[in-house]
Amino acid sequence: MTDHDLPTGFPPGFLWGAATSAYQIEGGVDADGRVPSIWDTYSHTPGRVRDGDTGDVACDHYHRWAEDVAIMAELGLNAYRFSIAWPRIMPGGRFNPKGADFYSRLVDALLERGIAPVATLYHWDLPQELEDAGGWPARQTAFRFAEYAEAIGRVLGDRVHIWTTLNEPWCSAFLGYCSGSHAPGRTDPAAALAAAHHLNLAHGLAVRALRRAAPGARCSVTLNLHHARGASAADADAVRRVDAVANRIFLGPMLTGRYPADLIDDTASITDWAFVHPGDEQTIAAPLDVLGVNYYAPVLVRRWDGSAPRQSADGHRPGSRSAFPGCEEVEFLPMPGPRTAMGWPIDPAGLTELLMRLHRDHPGIPLMITENGAAFEEEADVDGRVHDARRIGYLRDHLAAAKAAMDAGADLRGYFVWSLMDNFEWARGYSKRFGIVRVDYRTQRRTWKDSAHWYRRVIAANARPHQAPRP
């Protein structure tokens, strides 16, 4: 593969970034006043996480952040998406200056190197004390989130380029409270639907809180939208059902101010939706500056005939029940073709299709790819190098798919590779590596993979004078 294969033609001002999340890289779980999160509890529960792995140390980014920022600068990134650990900022519901100081130093270091900070407020690390009080199925959690948003917004609001309220609320609600395959490991479909609503409400409240704390704050949310295809023309209703509970349950209230009627009908046997109070949908529909999209693979669905064993190749770690309430008559089929180490099909065309769907359904909202990447089985050679040609091919083809959507009219503003470095991959522990930078978890040594060198060349090939975005 040569530099002739580099994707080019992206416009001036396009954000070239990499992404991480707090629990997956920081470590320092009891440093400077941080309290436990649901992922601390979950990962320390025997049998929950592969090999008994935890995020106690992870990549030790809490202590090695300066080294990691230097890597970002050498890569040529002009944006870095990270998450802020709620348990560091508001232990016991009280603002913790020491926790905030860590992110303040990080943000300053990024700005000094011309890297725009893109801060995510919630990447799944709910303080355990709030889970003990009811978690996301409890309405008060949304108001506690808004308090946290306003507190950290007052500290960082003048320096953060884009605020993202939630990362993948579908996973928080349905993997956490329905299938039980993610923290906190509950398996109650009604609670999961209530959690989804309260995450939506938390988003709307947080946008308002951020704009109070930092007038002019640019706000976003990141969704892992499930691009569903039907196995045949007869499976249109299966696609509709999955689209309702996986996508429109968030897109509807956030972008149109209302939940879709078919979602309410599909789940009527599970809940009466009494947790939606008058005015909630208007609160959720706070105006956004950009919509973040996490894309890895599409899903293939069909109507289940009720007799053969029901297939569940939805890309998520199996739990004790389906993560898709209201989709009891739907099955998820394996897709043909190459796969990543996660078992996910490699399908760049799905990214183009998803971006174009958003462009058609929600014209006027700028889009950003906030996660895209792949884990592959890979080993460092004797010199410590990782020759990850398959990852390079994956990234190249998905960038081409993104550019195709832009050429067709989609207003795409940036691309963030997942992930900057290998990290704790949730219930799969340290067994899967998504990073373009390899981490030796024993020594904490960082080593650029071939994909990091390639991504650096992509960024350089698309660089324009004065491209660095405003803080």
Q: Which residues are catalytic?
A: 168, 371
* Measured torsion, CA atoms of residues 106, 111, 114, 118, in degrees rounded to the nearest 10: 70
- What are the beta bridge partners of residue 216? none
Distance CA 226, CA 434 (A): 20
Q: How far apart are the first and last CA of the chain?
A: 36
Q: In what order do the strands lie in the sheet with 228-230?
A: 228-230, 299-303, 330-333
Distance CA 369, CA 330 (A): 28
- What are the beta bridge partners of residue 312? 332
Q: Strands 79-83 and 116-122, how do they pair?
A: parallel
Residue type, 49: V
- What are the beta bridge partners of residue 16? 415
Residue 193 — φ and ψ, nearest 5°? Answer: -65, -40
Q: Where are the alpha helices (DSSP H) in 285-425?
A: 348-361, 389-407
Residue 219 — φ and ψ, nearest 5°? Answer: -120, 150
According to DSSP, residue 409 is labeled T
Close Cβ partners of 23 (under 8 Å, ≥ 6 residues apart): 37, 39, 55, 58, 85, 123, 124, 125, 424
Mapping DSSP to helix (H, G, I), strand (E, B) and coil, where does residue 437 land?
Answer: strand
Burial track 382-403 (b if 16+ CB lie within 10 A, e otherwise):
eeeebebebbbbbbbbbbebbb
Residue type, 52: G
The DSSP element (H or E) to which 72 belongs, if any, is helix 61-75
The tokens describing 408, both together, are 């067709």
